[in-house]
Chain A
Amino acid sequence: MIIDLERFISVSCPTWSELENILKEIEAEPTLRLNLDRLQRFHELYERTAADLAKLNTFSSEPETRRYLESLVARAYGEIHETREKRRRVYPLRWFFQTLPQTFRRQIRAFYLSLAITIAGCLIGGFAIVLDPPSRHVIMPFGHDQMRPSERVQKEERQTSDRLSGSKTSFSAMLMTHNTKVSIFTLAMGMSYGIGTIILLFYNGAILGAISVDYVMDGQLRFLLGWLMPHGVIEIPAILIAGQAGLVLATALIGWGNRQTLGQRLRLVSKDIVTLIFGVGLMLIWAGFVEAFLSQYHEPVIPYEAKIAFGTVELILLCLFLSKSGRNTRSQKAR
């Protein structure tokens, strides 16, 4: 098609400029709501510019005008065809009490799988210690295999001074950041079709199982519960939820029995994954505090029963939160 280019540009240029001005306005203020008239005008301008681009595509020796129109149409297309909700404000409490537990329940099957893999790891780790005690040097992290649990308990209970004095805050920060990194890595390994996530969950389970069985066999169950429960009842579920997020990602990636495209599947779970990992972050902040300020103190400083009771209360509250919070809300009913 041969068109009078000069005339074409001079006639269409005001349309393009108007569209660009509206786009600049929208991009500068994400919370902006256009009224119906302006919305209709915006749509009309988009369609006219898109049509101009189509005309110019057949008259292609105008690379810069075409590039300019492509850029305009691309920006307007994103605004017009986007159907996902545009967040105008963030409601942290609503997110915490509704969105997070609802998301957890919506993806509960991935959580059960994450739990099952960790339990399998626990069993293998535990059996390894029972059947082959020297394997503790291989399975347990360095330090835990250096002395018998009873020796450690004696050492801890004999302490007269606060060995974390002056370093509790930094220790707590170190725990939070380290555990959050491990959790994000567990989630991210979902991109290996879930294999990396499964390995990490299984390995964590194996260490937990090995240490637990080692303490139980040495008659130190009370110490073990008092040591692990205050922070572990939050930290371990946090890792499980990170695994849940990783498995949700892997499931979307694999897409068994799902006719949607990879992009559509990932788009559907993207918000859930982010919600879960933010939840994990919050849980690990709490666990970091408790581990540094409570878990590392043993009898006679704090009675084990008090620590176990504290852990039990935390676990009950966590279970209630994840299973009940956000039920009967409008968004939940709508689903």
Chain B
Amino acid sequence: MNAELKIRTPEGIVFAQPLAGPITRFFAWAIDLMAISAILSLLGTVGNLIGAIDYNIALAVMALAYFVVSIGYGIAFEWLWRGQTLGKRLLRLRVVDAEGLRLQFDQVVTRNLLRFVDMQPVFYVVGGITCWLNRRCQRLGDIAANTVVVRIPAVSEPDLEQVVSGKFNSLRQYPHLAARLRQRVSPEEASAALQALIRRDEFEPAARIELFAQMAAHFRAKVEFPPDATDGVADEQFLRNVVDIVFRSRAETPVRNMASV
């Protein structure tokens, strides 16, 4: 599922954030469940200590603690960590306002209280089905609170040294065509080419030849280079040259602070 939250600003700029699917969210919830269990077992120890003094008060404290922790965990963490619980933070997910605005306290409370319907009848079946059917992957609590859960992809520099060996790149002889290639290759295509090269040793030999032949043909069709730049260049090498063109110019002048996104 590659759904995106697209926001058009009044200035006419469109930005997109990838939405988290039900499976990722389920795993985040499972981590949170473990965190809640850990907190409760810790409180259980405190309860046992109180129980040694007064069993009745210990029972009351445990009943209230269970209730407060099970409901308040999501509210407290999502409010203090700006839309993240422990599970969401580990899986790089974040609750955000569906209109791209600042997340409000009442939105956090609403989406957490509405878990009571989403978790029906067991294991978030209602919430999971709603999330799966909804084009913005919202469970009922998200719809009521007008929130969505987005993925925060880690932004890191591509390890070009691994795939681009620094050999002569015949495509660079034609800078105007290289610039056109950079313009015509979409981010998804560039990323697919890079991934194919990084993972080239994982493929079966026949599949590897077939894959690189198809990808090279695809990129050759984007910009037609003169024959002396492409003749005799193997498909895999051609793809290396393409990746070198697309990524290399920036790799030499890395953007500062990117890792902090």
Contacts and interface: CB of A to CB of B under 8 A. Distances in A.
A219 to B, nearest CB: 36
Interface size grouping (class) on chain A: 35 or more
A73 B249 CA distance: 24
A277 interface: yes
B155 interface: yes
Interface residues of B, number: 75
Contact of B180 (A2, A27, A174): A2
Contact of A173 (B11, B60, B114): B60
B113 A68 contact: no
A71 B260 CA distance: 11
B210 interface: no
Given A50-B9, A62-B250, A274-B110, A173 B59 contact: yes
Given A17-B257, A177-B67, A270-B107, A81 B60 contact: no
B104 interface: yes
Contacts of A192: 117
A58 B182 CA distance: 11
Contacts of A173: 59-61, 63-64
Contacts of B155: 64, 67-68, 71
Interface in B77-116: 82, 96-107, 109-110, 113-116
Given A2-B180, A81-B10, A176 B64 contact: yes
B234 interface: no
Nearest to A168: B56
Contacts of B63: 170, 173-174, 177
Interface in B170-188: 179-180, 182-188
Contacts of B186: 60-61
Given A82-B102, A191-B144, 10 more contacts: A6-B252, A50-B9, A61-B185, A63-B187, A74-B17, A81-B9, A87-B105, A188-B113, A188-B140, A266-B143
